[in-house]
Amino acid sequence: MRIDEIICRAVLLLSVWAGSRQLCAAQINVFAAASLTEGLRAIAADYQKQGGEKIVFNFGASSTLARQIEEGAPADIFFSADEAQMNRLEGRGLIVAETRRNLLSNSLVIIVAAKDGAIVPSPQALAGPEIKHIALGDPRVVPIGVYAREYLQKVGLWGAVAPKVVPTENVRGALAAVEAGNADAAIVYRTDALASGKVVVAYAVPLDQGPEIRYPVALVRGAHEPEASKKFLDCLASESAAKIFEQRGFVVVRELIKQ
């Protein structure tokens, strides 16, 4: 056999081996709240550059994601925007409780369009006649909507605001409604407002007046890649991940971060 044939066969075998390795490589399925989109994508990109497993995201309303997990969707990690959805899964034995961590917090803001947007100097302005449509994540089940409803009830405005509510599937839907001019205002997380150049914060809810917002993350019981998923969970609780979250406006629970 000629030397060039030997080299050709060797290259072919290496290609097949590399392809097989790629097919067998672990893939971690992360079901995460829509408000985490930019931060998690940045963290995953760094993780994969350093040789970590492939991370595949399913972003959406935490309530929708929890329901998908209950119905058997192939999730390895669940990162929720509120504790209620995580509690729901934990109560059904669908997460590994000892892996659960409340890593992040957030705050609420009222947003309007950056160009010719409504004037909303205070929450009370939402009840005025000038504001006709207010976009909220569905206040019955979507965390951002639930948080917004709790706040508006606390300040005595929910009765006046409720008839104006345009419910959306998640926080990004509420953001998009204001961006597109389909709502005069919306209540979203501070982090989502920072992610858009088409809206401005008309009013920031003071932390001591708003609801206590917690983002728990945990390993899903029966995960297809439990060991690889635990490694990525550790990454999410690392100092490098904390900096990425903080750059995007999240409040990091520092006592849980591994230096």
Beta bridge partners of 54: 27
What per-residue confidence (pLDDT) applies to 256?
Answer: 65
Q: What is the pLDDT of residue 26?
A: 83
Query: DSSP readout, 116-149?
Result: T----SSGGGGGSTT---EEEE-TTT-HHHHHHH
**Which one-letter DSSP state was computed for residue 183?**
-
Cβ neighbours of 253 (radius 10 Å): 16
According to CATH, the superfamily of the domain at 3-105+214-256 is Periplasmic binding protein-like II (3.40.190.10)
pLDDT tens profile 105-160? 999 999 999 999 999 999 999 999 999 999 999 999 999 999 999 999 999 999 99
CA distances from 149 to 35, 38, 49, 157, 162 (A): 18, 25, 41, 9, 9
Sign for the pseudo-dihedral over CA of 167, 135, 137, 31: positive
CATH dotted code for 108-204: 3.40.190.10
pLDDT in tens, 40-92: 999 999 999 999 999 999 999 999 999 999 999 999 999 999 999 999 999 99
Unique residue bearing structure tokens 């591994």: 258
What integer best gives the mean pLDDT of the chain?
91
pLDDT in tens, 216-246: 999 999 999 999 999 999 999 999 999 999 9
- pLDDT (0 to 100) of residue 255: 75
What string of DSSP letters covers 20-88?
HHHHHS-EEEEEEEGGGHHHHHHHHHHHHHTTPPEEEEEEE-HHHHHHHHHTT---SEEE-SSHHHHHH
Do the domains at 3-105+214-256 and 108-204 have one common CATH topology? yes
| CA gap 28, 33 in Å, rounded | 16
Domain boundaries of the chain, sorted by first residue? 3-105+214-256, 108-204
